[in-house]
Each structure stands twice: as C-alpha cells, then as structure tokens.
A and B are shown apart, each in its own frame.
Chain A
Amino acid sequence: MAEPTAPGMLHGDSPGLRLARRSLVLVALCIVLLPFADLSVVAHDPWAELSRMATGLALPHWRELSSPLQAIGLTVSVALWGTLLGVLLGFPLALVFFRSRLVRTACAFVRAIHELFWALLFLQVFGFSAVTALAALAVPYAGIFAKVYAEILEQTPRDAADSLPPGVGRLSRFIYAELPLAWERLAAYTRYRFECSLRASVLLGFVGLPTLGFHLESAFREGHYHQAGALLWLFYLLIGTIGFWGHRRLLPLLTLGSLFLLGPWPHVDSGLLWRFVSHDLWPAPLLDGDWAGLMAWLGNIPDLGPAIGNTLLLGLMGTVGALIIALLLWPLASRHFGNPATRLGGRALLVGLRSTPELMLAFIFLLLLGPSMLPAWLALALHNGALIAFLAARHADNIEPGMPGLPAGGRYAYELLPRIYPGLLALVFYRAEVIIRETALLGMLGVATLGFHIDSSFQYLMFDQAFFLLLVTAGLNIAVDALARRYRPREVVMDDPCSR
C-alpha cells in the first residue's frame, strides 16, 4: 500500500512554480555547461596583489594625479553631449517607432553594439577626437531613446487625448494631451541614461580617449595602485554627487560650459571617410562579386564558432551568476533585515558594485586572477547582481509582512521572496540582453569572446573582418534579447525603464 505523500515540490501550475522551474532549468543548464568554460586561476599570488590594491584604495595618493580635473571635465562633457545628441536623434525616431519596421530594426541594431565597439569603429575615421567619443555614445543611445521613449509615450493615458474636440491636429494633440503626461517619466529615464553615459564616458578611456578611464587603466596596468585608488575615489565621488552638480537648474549652464571642454576636433578627410565606408568595411570578394572568394574569406576568420560559443556561455553564466548574487545580496539593503549599520554597509556595497562598470571590475579581477573567463564572470555576476539586488530591496521595502515576528529565515523565504521573485526574475531576463552585450565587450580584456576578435581585427587593420564580427555580435544580441523576452515572467508589471 502506497503511503500518502505530499505532492512533489515543483508540481503544479501556479505562476510561482512555473517561475521556479524556469529558474532551475537555467541554473541546471549553466552547471552542465560549466566544464566547457576556462575558469583557471593563472596569477601566482592573487592575494598579495589584492592586498596591494586594497592598500591603494585605502591610502590614495591624491598629489600624484596629473590633471585629474581635465579628465573629469572631459568625462562629464562627453557624457552630457553624448546623451543630448542621443536625445535629439532618438526623440523624432520614437514618434515613428511603432509605425516603421525599418526604424525598429535600425534601432535594435545600433543598440545591440556596445558603446566601446562604436568607439573602436569611429576611431578609425575620426582618430582620438571628441567626434569619436560623442558619436560612440550618441549612436547607440539614439536607438535606446527611440525605443524607451516610444514605449513610455505609448503608455500615456488616453483620456485627455480622447476628450479633445474633433479636428485637433496631430502636433497640437501631442504637445497638449500626450507630452505633458509623459514628461516626468521621459525626464527620469533621460537622467538615468545620463548616469549610464557617465560610466560609458569613463570607459572610453580604455580605448585611448583621454577620459578618467584612460588614467585609471594606465595606473592599474602599471601597478600604481595608490594613484588608481585616488582615481577610483574620484569616480565614485563624481557618480555619488551627480544630484548636486547635475541639478536641473545647473544643467543648461553645464551643457553650454562643457562645450568648451570638448576636444580635440579632428580634421576629417572626406575622401578617406568615403573610402572607409564604401570599401574598407566590406570584404574585397563581396565587392568584386566573387562568391567562392567570399566563402574562402569567411573560412579565414579565426575561431568564429568558439568565439560565439564562448560569448553565449559567458552570457549564460553571467545571467545565472547575477540571479544568484541578487538572491544572496538583496536582504543586505532591505529594511526587513539587520540593523541600521548593516543596512548602510549593505547599501554602500550594492551601490558601489552597481556604479562600477563591468569592464573596470573585470579589469581589476583580471589583474588579480590572470586571463580566463573567471574574472569576466565575476564582474558580470557582481555588477548585474548588485543592480538587481538594489531594485529588489527597494521593492521589498514597500511590502508589509503579513506575519510580523517571524525569524529572518522565515521572513525571507515565506513572506518576502515569494512576493518579489517574479519581479526579480523579470529584471534578470531584462538584464540578459545587457549582459550578453557586455560579454562581447569583455573580450577586449583578452577573454576569448567575440570582442577579443573584434579588438584584434581592428588592431591588425582588418576592418572588413572587424565589421563582420560586429554584425555577428549585434545579431547574437538581438537573438538573445528575443529569447529573454519570450521567457520573461509576464505576470508582473515591474516596468521600470531605468533597469535596462
């Protein structure tokens, strides 16, 4: 006689169980594929290196910095004008976004390529100039703004527009009954994107533009950790005080003033530019119409398969890692756990990890652990996990537990997690697209993803190959985004555009 048993834990058709199964499949897939990833620690003494870095961060040498103000000025100017140009390009596109498949496709394409890859591309034409820096931010941001603005405008309540008298023109309707209703959300998103652009502007230093990242990278690479520590503090200070110097009333003044800090302006040879766009970017056999030659050209691209495989694998590992880190870290910043001191510490940790760009984190881990997938994985999981944890904690803070006085474990597992998990998982799926884009980028640090081959193709001036790999990267990114969109939890409306 069979004993009565409780039903299996994962059987059933409730939305919560569906999400649990979905997450477990993702984790299991990651574990099965993990042996294919190169996770060796190559450095001989990572702990000594780590302690030297920590000392550098604890005892920054401010005096050794050469012209930090100039670097900060350029960083802010590029971020401001990059965002502004992105808005100017993206806003008109947002108005036709849902009506034009061409616009949607073009936007998806420019979004799918990371700012730094755009910088590498523009670098070939405009050199180390302000045009390269601005275009590298403005082009992908135009695509992002077009999409997010269009979504925000689409969600504006229709009541006001519906109650207008018949015969009101399109423009009048827009400026009276649509734009004012969406204004606050548009402004909030633009502000969030400006913060992103500040981080991206710092990163432009990694390809040689003289922003803050340039000094950071060289200080780290040369082992001047006290100097690197000072620069890192400057960076956090800049991000942390954005509410003061980036105040709404100061912005117009800042925008005008920063125009004078931008530079140098390049001398553009239009003949060379045309040659680059019409000739250098395309495989020679394609331009000649030689199909057999094109096949041979494709065959000559080194390690295309493994590079795509590594990119996808690292993307999966990064997504799962972010999920696990977020689950572990969110209670640190939530009012339901710990005391004021631990919460302050937890919040500082999360904000710190969230504000540090993945590339910089990966770079630091790379110096510690040597070149493998491990530093990249850690960086992706920590940065994105902390970002999601922070939003999840904010979400949890709005929840009033039904049974006060439960022990912390019970509160976590029974009261809070079931309520915030759908939102948290939705954020993880949103971030999957960002993670795969960053994954490609981390190749620039030597991880064998697509970015590694893009970077080296540019270095060997094989522009046709670099451009082809960029297209592959963009395609991969769009595919992953579509996949994540398909499996994203739909039961929740945690629609904060500022999480993308």
Chain B
Amino acid sequence: MSDAELLSLAGEDVGHGSQVVLPRLSLTLRTGERIALLGQSGAGKSTLLATLRRRLDTDAAWCPQSHGLVPQLAVYHNVYMGRLERHSALANLWNLIRPDRRAWTEIETLCGELGLAGLLRRPVARLSGGQRQRVAIARALYQQRRLFLGDEPVASVDPHQALRLLALIDARHDTSVVALHQRELALSHFDRVWGLRDGRLVLDATTDTLTLDDLDRLYPDADAASSASADETAHG
C-alpha cells in the first residue's frame, strides 16, 4: 500500500496552455513519499506544482508561494478559506459576520500550534512576513488532505522554525511535495529529491544517495561562480 502510485507522468509536455515549460517529463509520485523539489527560480518548479495540483485535485492541500491570503480579512477568515467549499454560500457569508463556533475552536487550536495564538482576529495586512507564511500553512493544514503541495512554504522563516513547520506538515499528511531553496533541509528532511534545471528533470533520487555537491549542480549560477573563482585561482 505504501508503494501505491498516486500519480505518474510518462513523457508528457507540461506547461501553461500551449506554452510548454517542461517538455517530455516523466516522474512518479508514490504514497508516503516526502519529496523536495529543487531548482533555480525559473526552472519550472511552480509549473510542475501547478500541474500536480491540477491532477491530484481534492487529494492535495495547496500552499502557494504568494500565500494567496486576503490582507483585509482576519487570520481566522483566511484559514477558514481552506474549507470554503464544504459549507454553503450562505453559511460562508454569515461566518464573515459571526464566526462559526466549531470552526473557530478548530482554527484556534491549529493556530496555537503554529505560534499564531491570539492573532485570530487580526487582519493579515498587519502581520509580519513570517506570520503570514504561517497563516498560509495553517490554511493548507486546515484543508485536511492526505497530500501536501507547497511552493516555498518555509522560505521566509528561520531554520529552527522551518524544521518545526515541516514536522507539523509531516504529522498531518502522509505524502508531500515541497519546493525549497535550502539544500541542507532537502537532504536532512526529505526521502527523495526532484531536481529541475532548464526545463528538465535532471535529478530524481532518494536522499540517502545524494550529497550537497550533487544538489549544487542544479544551480547554473553556482557553476558560473565556482568556475569564475577557479579562473581567479588559475590567474592568481
């Protein structure tokens, strides 16, 4: 059961509409896997995540890079939006005026775990960057799906907090695909790495076979920097 395929792409062109970003992409996502998605910005990480999200539909909770929060609404309402489709429009409307008691209790507990206790009534516009990030994660957790898809969900928090947040995400989802830029975190905390470079999946391996140097090759700018320093050494 733990090896069950959730999704499999076999040489498919992936992109937006008619624009292909990742041509002839092949990969498999299995239940129980924790996958770190690495690659330079513009390598196609967001495109791949959007495709996974579309294919997995209601199986996946989604935490976008832009957070997708509504700054004018309170933290409570932003988290509540994770289950907007499970209530009638009328109930949702009423909830804006008077919070639903059960949802309030649940969200209060959830926000407590994420270090947002006491902020439920505060408009998101008045939160710090790190707090907003945690609200976005809270919303994804509140969706209660088996699978977590995150686009840089721990980009703007410190390393300790990042670990704690990833642990929370793991505790509540059996499978996850998370785009990251912290390479160390990818090795220490995930089972498998998907590495994208120039629109191709150049790396698809379990983390126990990988080193930081392997991951460095995903970043062409790092190549340039290291070859430049190599040049300097040669001339110097």
Residues of A participating in the B interface, judged by any CB pair closer than 8 Å = 159-160, 162-169, 171-173, 175-177, 180-181, 183-184
Which residues of chain A have C-beta atoms less than 8 A from B71's C-beta?
Answer: 181
CB distance from A357 to the nearest CB of B (A): 35
Q: How far is the CA of A175 from the CA of B72 in the complex (A)?
A: 12
Q: A175-B92, A176-B77 are in contact. Are A167 and B85 (CB under 8 A)?
A: yes
Q: How far is the CA of A163 from the CA of B83 in the complex (A)?
A: 12
Which residues of chain B have C-beta atoms less than 8 A from A169's C-beta?
Answer: 85, 89
CB distance from A228 to the nearest CB of B (A): 46
Which residue of the partner chain, among A171, A173, A176, contacts B73 with CB atoms under 8 Å? A176
Residues of B participating in the A interface, judged by any CB pair closer than 8 Å = 57-58, 61-62, 64, 66-73, 77, 81-85, 87, 89, 92-93, 96, 143
Which residues of chain B have C-beta atoms less than 8 A from A180's C-beta?
Answer: 70, 72-73
Q: A172-B92, A176-B77 are in contact. Are A165 and B70 (CB under 8 A)?
A: no
B64 touches A165 (CB 8 A): no
A167 touches B89 (CB 8 A): no
Q: How far is the CA of A183 from the CA of B71 in the complex (A)?
A: 11
Q: How far is the CA of A160 from the CA of B67 in the complex (A)?
A: 8
Which residues of chain B have C-beta atoms less than 8 A from A172's C-beta?
Answer: 84-85, 87, 89, 92-93
Q: How far is the CA of A177 from the CA of B64 in the complex (A)?
A: 15
Q: What DSSP secondary structure best describes chain A's contact surface?
A: helix
B93 touches A175 (CB 8 A): yes
B89 touches A171 (CB 8 A): yes
A-B contact pairs, 26 of them (CB 8 A): A159-B66, A159-B67, A160-B69, A162-B64, A162-B68, A163-B67, A164-B81, A165-B62, A165-B85, A165-B143, A168-B84, A168-B85, A169-B89, A172-B84, A172-B85, A172-B87, A175-B89, A176-B73, A176-B77, A176-B81, A176-B92, A176-B96, A177-B70, A181-B71, A181-B72, A183-B72
Q: A180-B72, A183-B72 are in contact. Are A165 and B67 (CB under 8 A)?
A: no
Q: Which residue of A lies closest to B90 (CB)?
A: A171
Q: How far is the CA of A488 from the CA of B119 in the complex (A)?
A: 47
CB distance from A389 to the nearest CB of B (A): 34
Q: How far is the CA of A336 from the CA of B20 in the complex (A)?
A: 51
Q: Which residue of A lies closest to B50 (CB)?
A: A162
B72 touches A165 (CB 8 A): no
Q: Which residue of B lies closest to A182 (CB)?
A: B72
CB distance from B119 to the nearest CB of A (A): 18
CB distance from B129 to the nearest CB of A (A): 15
CB distance from A482 to the nearest CB of B (A): 31
Q: Which residue of A lies closest to B58 (CB)?
A: A166
A165 touches B58 (CB 8 A): yes
Shortest beta-carbon contacts, A-B, top 7: A163-B68, A167-B85, A171-B89, A180-B72, A168-B85, A159-B66, A172-B92
Q: How far is the CA of A183 from the CA of B61 in the complex (A)?
A: 28
CB distance from B153 to the nearest CB of A (A): 12
CB distance from B186 to the nearest CB of A (A): 24
CB distance from A160 to the nearest CB of B (A): 5
B85 touches A166 (CB 8 A): yes
Q: A160-B70, A162-B68, A172-B85 are in contact. Are A167 and B58 (CB under 8 A)?
A: yes
